[in-house]
Structure 1
Amino acid sequence: MRATAYVGIGAVLLAGCASMPDSGDMRDVESTPRQDSKVRVFALPPAEDAEPQEIVQGFLEALTSDDLDYETARKYLTGDALETWDPGGSTTVLAEAPTPYTQVTGDRPKADEYRFQLSGKKVARVDGQHAYTPTSGEYRRPVHLTRVKDTRQWRIDELPQGLVLGRSDFERNYRAINKYYFTSAAQSGEPGTVADPVYVRSQADPVTQVVRDLLKGPTSWLNPVARTSFPSGTALQKGTRALTPDDQNRLVVPLNKKADRVSTSRCREMAAQLLLTLQDYMPTGVTEVELQGSTGAQLCVLAEGEADVPGSHGVGKSAAYEYFIDGEHKLVRLSERDPVTTPTPVPGALGKGEKQLRSAAVSRDEGRAAGVSADGSELYVSPLAEGGALGDPVLRSAGATAKDRLTTPSWDGRGDLWVADRDPRKPRLLVLADGMGEPLEVRTPAGLSGRVEAVRVAADGVRVALILEEDGKRALYIGRIERDADAEGTTVSVVELRSVTPELEDVTAMSWAGDSQLVVVGREPGGVQQMRYVRVDGSPTPGSGPSALTGVEEVAASEDESQPLVAHSADGIVRLSPGEQWQTVVKEGTAPVYPG
């Protein structure tokens, strides 16, 4: 029905592609305009007696089409290029569509050979595992053409591996999804799920692509701290072409013999990974998954909403309250579900004002809180219960000024407490086991430059977001948390830090806002402050960010995306509920947080 509905649009597109010039000067290859995701774009094969520049243009346009295996693009190739070109090896994303121009060598080109240079400004690279990484710099790659002896037609016989696309074509053709795996108990305490963001082609049988990608296992960056329940070598049954949910939103997934002998409990974990991943891609499209073995026999069935779904999101739990520091420097809380809009002090010592606070963090079960003193020199941990005593500080900083002392703390999924000491004489990232143990210095990559200005640990416990300041500029990084235990104790390390906001010159605040997304406050070079959502791989999110807000100093988001965004701005503590506008909660208040 969709194909029929868009016949007219498809005809217009094809007519536009067919208008190839047969003479005249070289022109830039125009990027295909952003289109509705339902519109399919079909490539045209090479025209008879097409000139070299037409062959290059036609090939680049074919890369933006919806051909399942780039069959039309391959018609522009010959020789080794036809045999060895691997479009799935990687994708280079440029700011604009690649520009081909004749390479000047000083020699007159041969009659049966022609060489072009593809150029552009690099934005990102998507590797063979479909993982996205922001990049920069100039892109220059050669393309060589020759006349085929038998037909005397120009064809490409040398070209760069993979795909090269303009950003608009990439965003039209590809879609970000989260694959779901389990964290190991050694890394995150109780096993839970962790999101692994990748990009899949949105038109070319996406459901089957999503399943195949999941079965291949975690991407290289996440693999050291994640596991899959699928046995090694598990794949779709040979001959499986397309997976489609039935009219009851039930998906049957036939697997090869590697999965034949799994236990029922392990099979349900496998089904849970599939269900979570597919529901991220199509939230209302799959409600039940059935796994079949190599003989077609049912291995297990798992439906959404079952009470014992393995690996249920730790990240999907709604917080009971929003928290912040009020004008009297006490920790207070507010429930969005409560019609009373006046914040109330938390139960226990931190809500009574026994110690004035400037920031706090609430444990994920909302049973404890950590508070930093008003001058930033002391960290306290206290139960959120009546009668709870404040006790002695669990950590002290000797920084000379308040800005050189403790950051806002953060609780991970294990119940450990993270905080950075910004003392210039000994800057450290620290973790306190169960929020009360001896502070353990976290190992960071050798040669790490910059001081940690903010730290937020994801609910999965294996990823951490850090704001690092260097030379007066602050940037946001995501790192992987690794724990190693031996006879001498436990070592905690943050490894493979990667920038996720390379286009922002100064990041002032951030918070996790979903399984693989953060909300960030910052500004571009020469620009004004803005608030936006970014993915942990550094790729842009579709649509616009939160509506504009003046003078944002701090921001807090729940990892349950249905809960309001809370910020400390020029108007005080403000809240943005889905589908609404910013509303002022109180005029005096700072340091808003959700549990975590």
Structure 2
Amino acid sequence: MTRTRRLCAVAAVAAAVALTGSGCSVIPVSGPYVVDDTGSGDPLSKPFQRMIATAPQPGWGPQDVLKGLQAAMAAYDDDPTVLPQYLTPEALRGWSPDGAVTVLDDAWNWTFDLGDQDGTESVQKISVKAPQIARIEEDDTYVPLAGNWARPFELVKVEGVGYRVRSLPQGIILTKSDVARAYRPTKLYYLSSGTQDRLVVDSVRLRLKPTKTYAQVVLERLLKAPSAALQGAVSTSFPSGTRIESVRSGEDERVVINLSGPIDPLDLSGEHALMAQIRYSLTNNDVAKGRPIEVQVDGEQYSVSQPNVDQGWLDNGVNTDYYIDNGAVHYMTNEGPGGAVAGPAGQPREGYSNFALSKQGDLVAAQTSTGISITPATQEGQWQEVVQGSPQDLTAPSWHRDGSLWTFDRKNGVVLRYEPGSNRPAERVAAPGLKGWDVTRMRIARDGVRVVLTTGENIVHVGALTQAGGLMLSNVRVPTAREPGGLIEDLAWRDDEHVLVLVKSNAGQTLNEIDIGDGDVTEIPLKNRLRRVAALNEHVLAQAEKGKGKGSEILELSQDQSWKTRIESNAEAPLFPLG
């Protein structure tokens, strides 16, 4: 006879209790617990806590076994021998750790369904529910998610052994605390496939290893292909077959990297891209910062890169602030308003809007009622219409660092690229993923690879310009799981990893900063009603309303997140070259 006893017990279980040393108060015996990794204090590593899982015990109840199983998943990369002990032979044959890692919030809800099957086995069915906050892909991409995750687990009591898991979801399941403990946000640097003169950052999450320094983990990952977001858009200077033999601290606090493989000694010159990839990937992850880097090949020294030497690998063009005054482009000074730029772009003119400046500020683009025009910022310059279309049909112009001008033709649903001086009309750039989309904005990042787009009123997408098989806009994805919650009024690239998005909703206006690497959204406090935003790294400007009938002013964001007036009157649409 089948006997069913249902326990609808819903418990919020914090991972900090269930999966750390304090978990000993919940799970008998001595685990699971965490230990400080021996890499703590090593200048080439980062301190972290490592999960030490324990095998299941005969006296554990179903809930304790499931908590122990989750701890074994958290420790699986370091010790894969414990987790199989929680599974029946049937479950072990059917389960695989491969695939994306599921990241759940620390608080879980448990629903139990306890009963006997055929009078011979005590079976425990547990439904686990929790908010899923992310997924870590096999290429180490951290993908933010929103929504609830619910999966069934089935445990069976084995005579003389205790409960074992007979049915469980595929893959590794971690909590937010597990990820914070064992993973680190990491910046990898690759070469832009289009221009080869710029490094492009690839943001991933790397798992720390107790047997390796963080510096070695970073460099070994750098030898692999970039994440899916940059596939086909970037390249590497490391020849195939390169290996990281060791990374250690040497004399004079230098970092000594020993490589092996088919490396040309010329590739290790101080200004070569390979050395730049190594240096930026280490120093911008706060490893080897301010230290010389010595690169060896098979133990023989080939090159030493000195710290704090700017070789332009993250060049963003001219670092000058501009704004519009009565339809004319003006530059700013430290004291406030500056003069107008040379040529027709610096002369007041009606009907010109959405100005954009090239990398060096020597070319100006603007939108008119009939299309997009450009002019050199010289006395001899003249406005020339290079793309035809109404403001309703074309998105605002955006310059690429290679000197080309981009827009999206909404009427025909195509990306257009115009190359000044080519005497050719704007060419179409393939973008198969955008077919049928209502693209409302498109801006090229200063790295020359990434592209931010908006569709409709409130959806932000990030893509990349790929080169494999011809120039193409692809790899388009939504960078965050958080909805904007209103109408997008403006957006701008702040740096290679962050986009500013100005949003208007019923609750008011917000300025959000989206981290396109991990999807985090940070709200920048506002006091005034803003119209436009522009940014270049730590420098953020905005056009703000002064009040009804009082015109607008240019504000600057201070380090304390307050806004101060930069230009008091006759100032609109702040802008920087590119971005």
Same fold, judged at TM 0.5 (above)? yes
- 1:500 Cα shift? 1.6
Task: Return closer, same or farther for 1:125/1:333 CA change in 2, 3 Å cut-off.
Answer: same
* Aligned equivalent of 2:189, options 180, 187, 194: 180
Task: Return closer, same or farther for 1:281/1:439 CA change in 2, 3 Å cut-off.
Answer: same
* Aligned equivalent of 2:554, options 561, 573, 583: 573
Q: Which amino acid aligns with 1:292?
A: Q
- 1:112 Cα shift? 5.7
Q: Which amino acid aligns with 1:298?
A: Q
Q: How far does the alpha carbon of each residue in 1:398-439 deviate from its partner, in whole angstroms, 9 at most, with x for none?
A: x4xx5x1543211112110112344xx545432111377412
- Please give the secondary structure, in 1, of the residue aligned with 2:275: helix
* Larger strand share, 1 or 2: 2
Superposition pairs of residues 71-150 of structure 1, within 5 angstroms: 76-77=86-87, 79=89, 89-102=99-112, 111=121, 113-146=123-156
Task: Return closer, same or farther for 1:73/1:531 CA change in 2, 3 Å cut-off.
Answer: farther
State the alpha-carbon separation in 1 of the partners of residues 295 and 96 from structure 2.
31
State the alpha-carbon separation in 2 of the partners of residues 575 and 147 from structure 1.
65
- Please give the secondary structure, in 1, of the residue aligned with 2:528: coil
Question: What is the match of residue 275 of structure 2?
Answer: 271
Question: What is the match of residue 413 of structure 1?
Answer: 401
Question: What is the match of residue 462 of structure 1?
Answer: 449
Task: Return closer, same or farther for 1:500/1:74 CA change in 2, 3 Å cut-off.
Answer: same
State the alpha-carbon separation in 2 of the partners of residues 593 and 57 from structure 1.
53
Q: If the length of structure 1 is used for normalisation, what is the TM-score?
A: 0.78
Pair 1:195 & 2:201 matched: yes
* Aligned equivalent of 2:419, options 417, 433, 436: 433
Q: How far does the alpha carbon of each residue in 1:292-332 deviate from its partner, in whole angstroms, 9 at most, with x for none?
A: 334x222433233447x5x72234x5x33111222x12111
Question: What is the match of residue 304 of structure 1?
Answer: 307
Pair 1:347 & 2:342 matched: yes
Superposition pairs of residues 365-404 of structure 1, within 5 angstroms: 365-373=360-368, 376-385=369-378, 387-397=379-389, 399=390, 404=392
Question: What is the match of residue 314 of structure 2?
Answer: 313
Q: Which amino acid aligns with 1:520?
A: V
Question: What is the match of residue 552 of structure 1?
Answer: 530
- 1:341 Cα shift? 1.1
Pair 1:251 & 2:232 matched: no
State the alpha-carbon separation in 1 of the partners of residues 71 and 504 from structure 2.
35
Asked if the contact 2:332/2:339 (under 8 Å) is kept, the reply is yes
Q: Which amino acid aligns with 1:59?
A: L
Asked if the contact 2:102/2:134 (under 8 Å) is kept, the reply is yes
Q: If the length of structure 2 is used for normalisation, what is the TM-score?
A: 0.80
- 1:208 Cα shift? 2.7
Question: What is the match of residue 477 of structure 2?
Answer: 498
- 1:91 Cα shift? 1.6
- Cα RMSD after superposing both structures: 3.7
Task: Return closer, same or farther for 1:483/1:129 CA change in 2, 3 Å cut-off.
Answer: closer
Structure 1, unaligned stretches of length 5 or more? 1-9, 23-36, 486-490
Question: What is the match of residue 332 of structure 2?
Answer: 334
Asked if the contact 1:377/1:406 (under 8 Å) is kept, the reply is no
Asked if the contact 1:190/1:414 (under 8 Å) is kept, the reply is no
Q: Which amino acid aligns with 1:227?
A: S
State the alpha-carbon separation in 2 of the partners of residues 109 and 411 from structure 1.
73
Q: How far does the alpha carbon of each residue in 1:516-564 deviate from its partner, in whole angstroms, 9 at most, with x for none?
A: 222222368x7543222222245216xx543334333321111xx24x1
Asked if the contact 2:200/2:234 (under 8 Å) is kept, the reply is yes
Q: Which amino acid aligns with 2:544?
A: S
Question: What is the match of residue 576 of structure 2?
Answer: 594
Q: How far does the alpha carbon of each residue in 1:243-302 deviate from its partner, in whole angstroms, 9 at most, with x for none?
A: 45458553222334x24x4232257533321211111211663533223334x2224332
Task: Return closer, same or farther for 1:60/1:13 CA change in 2, 3 Å cut-off.
Answer: closer
Task: Return closer, same or farther for 1:209/1:351 CA change in 2, 3 Å cut-off.
Answer: same
State the alpha-carbon separation in 1 of the partners of residues 136 and 274 from structure 2.
26
Aligned residues: 532
Q: How far does the alpha carbon of each residue in 1:142-184 deviate from its partner, in whole angstroms, 9 at most, with x for none?
A: 43445567x6133445533433234455345433222111122
Asked if the contact 2:531/2:544 (under 8 Å) is kept, the reply is yes
Pair 1:481 & 2:445 matched: no
Asked if the contact 1:289/1:302 (under 8 Å) is kept, the reply is yes
Q: Which amino acid aligns with 1:128?
A: E
Asked if the contact 2:255/2:288 (under 8 Å) is kept, the reply is no
Task: Return closer, same or farther for 1:13/1:145 CA change in 2, 3 Å cut-off.
Answer: closer
